[in-house]
Amino acid sequence: MIIALAGLTPLVLCLAAASASLLDQSARSFAKRSIAAATASFTLAVLVAAGVALGGPARSPLAGYGGIGMSIHVDALAAVMLALVSFVGIAVVRYSRNYLDGDPAHLRFTQLLLLTLASVETLIIAGNLTLLILAFVATSLALNKLLLFYGDRPAAQRAAAKKFVTSRVGDLCLVIASCLLYARFGTLEIADVLSAAKANGGAYASWSLTTAALLIVTTAILKSAQLPLHGWLLEVMETPTPVSALLHAGIINAGGFLVLRLADVMLLARPALEVLAVIGGATALIASLVMLTQTAVKVQLAWSTIAQMGFMLLQCGLGAFSSALLHILAHSLYKAHAFLSSGSIMDLARASWTPSPGGQPHPARLVLSIAAVIGLTLTVAWLFGVTPRTHPARIALGCVLLMGLVHLVANAIDERPNAFVISRAALLACGVAAVYFALQAVMEAILAKSVPVGSMVDGTVEIAIAVLVVISFGAVTVFQNQIMRKADTRFWVAAYVHLKNGLYLNTLSNRLVLALWPKPASHATTVHA
């Protein structure tokens, strides 16, 4: 029953998309049917999640031969992701009904929207690497059509070209990795591969497995828009706003999902995870700095997404797989909402009070506040049984999260200290930390049978990376304060200019794309045609 419901989830969306070609429907009529289909898909996803919670994981027989073919595998990881994608899908489909009302290509856009969602849902429930690869390709091709929705825009053409190239390289890496896994395990059935890796890990640790893991890491980096191949995500702003929100329905997160799905295999190749942690952490750091200098709301949100995907891959690289899924859930929900409500952000910003540069706390108080929130995070973590030795990523990300309250704490420690104000700030920080670690514990319990949980650390490399992350983002917090206090000095002006241009990484990427595609694509379709 669970498998039947899971298989119907993307099928409903595909049938709804096909109905536009079979029936003579207006765009508005089709939009209503699409909302109904998305709602049905979400209902099925909830039923799948309930079935997994009550009956455990389920898998279908293989439609293929020799361990290669198509099958469905649904466990807690797939159920959570399926519910997330279908829920965000409802919001995006409903929003696009009004957003594109009157657009000549409204019906085509909705079709592509449904097909993209169906491809992502198929990727999530894939039980065989063959089906997973096909779903990856289908998702990329459908998204490429959406990126070219306004095909006469040069930025949209560049975004589509860059996304196409990075996706094909990622797909090729995944195909080669699958071949290496098949040579090692004799099957591409994901459940069987994971069971064998878990049962005989030491026996399978070899150069071929390490190579496969490094290729999977490369695929994850390319799919999740990590530096330096992140530029296509910034130019997605040339597409309709619903596409930006749709990216957070399992598309930009697909790289992280791939690592989570093959987590037991990844643990057999620690160097690959360490590479993932370093690249993810570096991307999170650089993108966070660049984000501080952006003035366009949607571009700032895009840089934020790049940074958040870096955090998510950092957690995967440190073995905190359940934490990574929680990050995917939280980020997808709030960022999809942020993009869909971006039109009203400027009104909210104008109505909000913000301190002038002179109102920024003194650097000494800022450093004292950073030390205080780190100490608070470690204390609350200890109360939940979490230590730097057992869960370095969880503590590192907790410290980074609490640094969001540093300015509040610093302003509470005023030149004229007030016990009530300081206590209120401390209680708020304690509450945030407690909620964070409680949610981490809940997610770890949910995924206990799907991904490796608990202590994944067997050395000091992961701890060193986690410490470096905390120090780096403490420095970012101080940097943010200083760049506002000294905005008119030569050094800080130069730093601002370079960061505002994203350290010119995307510029170099654009030059390469223009060299390969010197003219606009002849097949680009415009909505005015």
The pLDDT of residue 25 = 66
Residue pair 252/305 in contact (Cβ under 8 Å)? The answer is yes
pLDDT of the residue at 353: 45
At residue 518, the pLDDT reads 56
Which are the contacts of 32, defined by CB distance < 8 A and separation ≥ 6?
97
Splitting the chain (529 residues) into consecutive groups of 10 residues, what average pLDDT does each group show? 78 79 70 86 89 86 85 90 90 83 79 88 90 91 83 74 84 93 90 85 72 92 83 74 77 89 88 89 87 78 86 88 89 78 60 49 75 87 84 86 79 68 81 89 87 64 83 82 70 77 74 61 39
For position 179, what pLDDT does the model report?
93
Angle between helices 76-99 and 254-261 (to 10 degrees): 170
User: What is residue 420's predicted lDDT score, i.e. its pLDDT?
Assistant: 73
Q: What is the pLDDT of residue 219?
A: 92
pLDDT for 472: 85
Give the ranges where 319-418 is alpha helix by DSSP (H).
Answer: 321-340, 345-351, 363-383, 392-402, 406-412
Residue type, 427: L
pLDDT tens-digit series, residues 381-430 = 898 888 888 888 888 888 888 888 777 777 777 656 667 777 787 888 88
Residue 104 preceded by cis peptide, ω within 30: no
Structure-block tokens of residue 370: 């950073």
pLDDT of residue 360: 59
221: number of CA atoms within 13 Å, CB side? 26
pLDDT at 270: 83
pLDDT of res. 524: 41
Token pair belonging to 93: 């489909």
CB-CB contact of 59 with 3 (8 Å): yes
- Overall pTM > 0.75: yes
**pLDDT of the residue at 257:** 92
| H or E element in which residue 68 lies | strand 68-70
pLDDT at 523: 43
Q: What per-residue confidence (pLDDT) applies to 134?
A: 93
Return the structure tokens found at 433.
Answer: 């930390």
d(CA 398, CA 506): 30
Q: How many angstroms separate the CA atoms of 185 and 188, rounded?
A: 8
Task: Please report the pLDDT score of residue 215 as a whole number.
Answer: 94
